[in-house]
Amino acid sequence: MSAPRQPWWRRLLRASRQQAQPPVAESQVPAAQPRLLEMGDIRAELVKAELARGRARVSERVEGVKSLSEREILACGQVLATLVDEVRDQIDEARHAMQASSARSEALTSRFISEMQQDLQTQEAAVGQVLQLADGIEEAVHAIRRLTRHAEMLALNSKIEAGRFGDQGKGFAVIAENLRELSRTIETAAGQVDASVGAVREGLPPVSDCASSMQNRTRAFIDHLADQARSQGDLGTNGLDVVIALSNEALSHLTFQDAASQKLSTIAGVLEQVDARIERVLAGETELEDAPDDETDDQQLPGQMILF
């Protein structure tokens, strides 16, 4: 197994020591100056080479991350946008279909109710006529009863008068008695008719109550259908809200990646600036402008927003 690679500054020291052998004594420094200067140049070249290599590696990696991030971010963004559009279209379609279905149901049910109302009105009219007939029959029965009472009175009087004529009145008495019998028979029949008419009256259901009850039940059914359609519509809307919330969350992850990628570019830029400044130092410049104050402590943080 090969030994781990030494850090660059150790390699630099080793190289400079190798160049400086044998070691230079203090008294020999002036004479050794060219060699020391040469050592300084070598160090400087080594430093420059290491910096350049390091910067190139960082830049390469930054570019790699950036291009990968951009491709991924664009692809994810497109997928998300398509997904949200498709879901929204499907939900709109479902909502329209439900509304159309609900409208059709409502129209059909309204027509049904209207036809039912007409039928009930016809029945009501028929029942009214029956009741009127019943009234007519009752009046007729009352008239018959009055007549039978008169006939009975007449029969009674006839019998009394027949009694005054003795045997000659016997035939007349029989007739009177027969008349009385007839009156009672008619009275009994009238009573039966009266009873039947009363039964018919009581047996007729209140038509208006039936109509009202059926109407209420049908309306309740329509309202139930409308509620169901609304609930399904709400479900669709809630589903869309969930998808939008998810896509917003994914969006925030994508923007974070994008921001990170831009920060990497900034780092690469800073390294280039550092490299350029070191080049100038190694080239012998002694007066460099101060690096701009980076105001690190006062910087706005990622995600922060201020309105002026």
Partner 1 sequence: MSKTVLIVDDSATIRQQVSMALKQAGFAIVEAADGREGLNQIDSNREIAMVVCDVNMPNMNGLEMIEQVKRKPEHKALPILMLTTEGQPSMVRRAKEAGAVGWIVKPFDANQLVQTARHLTKAG
Closer to partner 1 by Cβ: residue 169 or 239: 239
161-200 positions binding partner 1, by CB under 8 A: none
Handedness of CA 272, 273, 274, 275 (dihedral sign): positive
- For residues 264 and 66, the answer to whether their CB atoms sit within 8 Å is yes
CA distance 32 to 150: 171
**Distance of closest approach, residue 267 Cβ to partner 1, in angstroms:** 12
**Distance of closest approach, residue 307 Cβ to partner 1, in angstroms:** 4
32-71 positions binding partner 1, by CB under 8 A: 70
- Determine the size of the site formed for partner 1 (CB under 8 A): 34
Q: Which stretch binds partner 1 (CB under 8 A): 47-55, 80-88, 141-149, 220-228?
A: 80-88
CA distance 180 to 194: 21
* 302 burial level (CB within 10 Å; 0-12, 13-18, 19+): exposed
Q: Is 22 in the site for partner 1 (CB under 8 A)?
A: no
**Distance of closest approach, residue 235 Cβ to partner 1, in angstroms:** 20
**Distance of closest approach, residue 227 Cβ to partner 1, in angstroms:** 29
**Distance of closest approach, residue 83 Cβ to partner 1, in angstroms:** 11
User: 21-30 burial string, b = 16+ CB within 10 Å, else e?
Assistant: eeeeeeeeee
Q: Is 252 in the site for partner 1 (CB under 8 A)?
A: yes
Closer to partner 1 by Cβ: residue 90 or 178: 90
Q: Is 79 in the site for partner 1 (CB under 8 A)?
A: no
Closer to partner 1 by Cβ: residue 193 or 243: 243
Closer to partner 1 by Cβ: residue 224 or 263: 263
DSSP 8-state code for residue 204: S
**Torsions phi, psi for 213 (to 5 deg):** -65, -45
> Radius of gyration of the chain from Cα atoms?
58
Per-residue contact string for residues 267-306; x = within reach of partner 1 by CB under 8 A: ---------------------------xx--xxxxxxxxx
- Nearest Cα residue to 39 out of 23, 26, 61, 55: 23
Q: Which stretch binds partner 1 (CB under 8 A): 17-25, 193-201, 249-257, 275-283?
A: 249-257
Tell me the CB-side half-sphere exposure of residue 18, using CA atoms within 13 A: 8
Q: Which stretch binds partner 1 (CB under 8 A): 101-109, 122-130, 212-220, 240-248?
A: 240-248
CA distance 192 to 181: 17
Which of 15, 182, 251, 268 touches partner 1 (CB under 8 A)? Answer: 251
Instruction: Count the Cβ atoms, other than its own, within 10 Å of residue 220.
Output: 9
**DSSP letters spanning 211-272:** HHHHHHHHHHHHHHHHHHHHHHHHHHHHHHHHHHHHHHHHHHHHHHHHHHHHHHHHHHHHHH
- For residues 138 and 194, the answer to whether their CB atoms sit within 8 Å is yes
Kindly list the residues in this chain that would bind partner 1 in the complex (CB under 8 A): 70, 73-74, 77-78, 80-81, 84, 244, 247-248, 251-252, 254-256, 258-259, 262-263, 266, 294-295, 298-308
